[in-house]
Amino acid sequence: MNILMVGAGSMSESLVRGWIDSGIAPESITMTNRADRKRLSELANEHGVQIIEEESIESFDIVVLAMQPEGVLEYVKRHEWTNQLLVSVAAHITPDEIEQISGCGAVCAMPNTPVAFRTGMTGLWFGHQVAMEQKQLATELFLRVGEVVETDETTMPFLMAAAGCSPAFFYEIVGAMTPVLTEAGFEAQQARRIIAQAMKGSAELLLQDARPTDALIDDVAAPNGPTDRGVQVLRTHELKKIMRAALSESAREA
């Protein structure tokens, strides 16, 4: 299976890192990038992947379109497609648009950067021309680097907001919490570790324990205790409203 990654930005590198860690041979992955050849060479040195300047599409089984969304359809138009599986990771592109131009099966995937550590969450939206074995192939590819959920036109934007974009929301929260710890005397890296480990543990609990989040909060918060008082601050500042607005804004096609 030969994979071409078009675009060598952060999403592309995260996928490559995760796929290689999952056992995919680096030699079967080729990367190309429109700008920044130096970055491409660094990726070849770091991961052992192939790099090229001008690609011949017919040598690849899977072509991952990992450039910014505005370049995707133009790239598909510029090339001759035979029987490749096209996988776009771009926001707000539909499989039908790609299939109409290429005549090949297309999958719109929405991964997130944690795929680099095989803890990703990827939404897959299959086009009408995707054959059963291609569905299986795409699903297996993304299962190598985390969990997969099937999406469609309606759910994809919200999957994107909640899984593709949300790592940035979590980093924003960590960024807001860290100074409180450093002001108390922790080193910045130690503060970050404390918060990240608490987040990781809470995520594990959420995955293992199906009770509603209010019940999980009750496990932590004694009435009028420190947690309860902290949660009240979040509620007074209407965190739920803020999170709803952030997710809706990310899901919206600008």
Binding site for NADP(+), by residue number, is 66-69
Question: Whose Cβ is closer to ligand A1CAB: residue 11's or residue 191's?
Answer: 11
8 binds, among ligand NAI, ligand A1CAB, none (CB under 5 to 8 A by kind): ligand NAI
Distance between CA 245 and CA 47 in Å, rounded? 39
Residues 42-71 that bind ligand NAI (CB under 6 A): 66-69, 71
- Which of residues 64 and 165 has its CB atom nearest to ligand A1CAB in the complex? 165
d(CA 194, CA 178): 9
Using alpha carbons, list the distances in angstroms from residue 64 to 215, 222, 244, 250.
Answer: 42, 50, 31, 23
Residues 80-139 that bind ligand A1CAB (CB under 6 A): 91
Distance (Å, rounded) from C-alpha 185 to C-alpha 22? 40
Q: Does 32 bind ligand NAI (CB under 6 A)?
A: yes
Is 10 one of the binding residues for ligand NAI (CB under 6 A)? yes
Q: Is 165 in the site for ligand A1CAB (CB under 6 A)?
A: yes
Residue nearer to ligand A1CAB on the CB measure, 51 or 109: 109
Nearest Cα residue to 40 out of 58, 52, 22, 55: 52
Dump the DSSP string for 125-157.
EE-TT--HHHHHHHHHHHHTTEEEEE--TTTHH
Measured from the CB atom, the residue of 16 and 91 that comes closer to ligand A1CAB is 91
